[in-house]
């Protein structure tokens, strides 16, 4: 049975460390990392969106356009809740392709009476792998207006439940060319 809350893939970053748009890099049998994430999450959630400043991903997906000029997850989060009529959303970064269905299920079964349910691996918070509630929107919007873009600070100042995981490879982020190559090797295993 699929999860009823919407899933949103955050694919609106600058990709400055990669040198080109990582959301458009080929991954597995898919033309892009975004397509890989989208079709994977589509098997788990009733509705999947892509949050981005661009609308050209080479496949048909509902896009949530960033409503703010800033390139930050904070701008994406505010845009998501200003665009969707949802009380809760699952958020996943486009560059975290190894987050498993089991990790998502564990997050989904955590306490829902909070502002956010966020994955944490070996003490490292994964702010772009979790469930955000609309209740966080006023704080996120204020932070964005003040030019504060650190998701960790927002989470620390909110009622956040952290779910701990031991899987390190599940939270690999693809930010640089060497990490992309490593991810491609892991995908083949």
- Predicted confidence (pLDDT) per residue in 4-13, tens digit: 999 999 997 7
Give Cα separations from 77 to 68, 85, 158 (angstroms): 10, 13, 14
Tens digit of each residue's pLDDT (9 = 90 or more) over 88-136: 999 999 999 999 999 999 999 997 789 999 999 998 999 999 999 999 9
Structure tokens at 172: 């690999």
- Chain-wide mean pLDDT for the chain? 92
Structure tokens at 96: 């975290």
pLDDT value of residue 146: 93
Tens digit of each residue's pLDDT (9 = 90 or more) over 48-58: 999 998 777 88
Q: What is the mean predicted confidence (pLDDT) over 71-100? A: 95
Report the Cα 132 to chain-centroid distance in Å: 10
Burial 142-173 (b: 16+ CB within 10 A, else e): ebbeeeeeebeebbeebebbbbebeeeebbbb
Name the E strands within the chain: 7-10, 48-52, 63-65, 88-93, 116-121, 124-133, 160-165
Single pTM value for the model: 0.94
The answer to whether residues 183 and 97 touch, using CB atoms and an 8 Å cutoff, is yes
* Residues facing residue 88 across a β-bridge: 133
The class level of CATH for 7-188 reads alpha beta
């Amino acid at each position: 049975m699929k999860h009823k809350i919407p899933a949103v893939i955050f694919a609106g970053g600058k990709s400055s460390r990669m040198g080109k748009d990582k959301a458009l890099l080929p991954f597995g049998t898919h033309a892009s990392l975004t397509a890989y994430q989208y079709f994977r999450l589509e098997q788990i959630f009733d509705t999947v969106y892509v949050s981005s400043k661009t609308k050209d991903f080479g496949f048909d997906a509902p896009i949530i356009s960033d409503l703010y000029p800033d390139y930050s997850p904070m701008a994406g989060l505010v845009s998501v809740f200003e665009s969707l009529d949802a009380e809760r959303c699952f958020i996943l970064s486009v560059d975290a392709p190894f987050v498993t269905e089991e990790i998502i299920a564990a997050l989904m079964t955590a306490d829902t009476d909070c502002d956010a349910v966020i994955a944490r691996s070996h003490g490292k918070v994964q702010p772009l792998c979790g469930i955000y509630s609309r209740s966080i929107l006023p704080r996120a919007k204020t932070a964005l207006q003040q030019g504060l873009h650190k998701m960790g600070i927002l989470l620390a100042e909110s009622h956040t439940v952290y779910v701990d995981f031991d899987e390190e490879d599940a939270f690999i982020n693809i930010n640089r060319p060497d990490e992309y190559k490593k991810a491609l090797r892991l995908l083949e295993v």
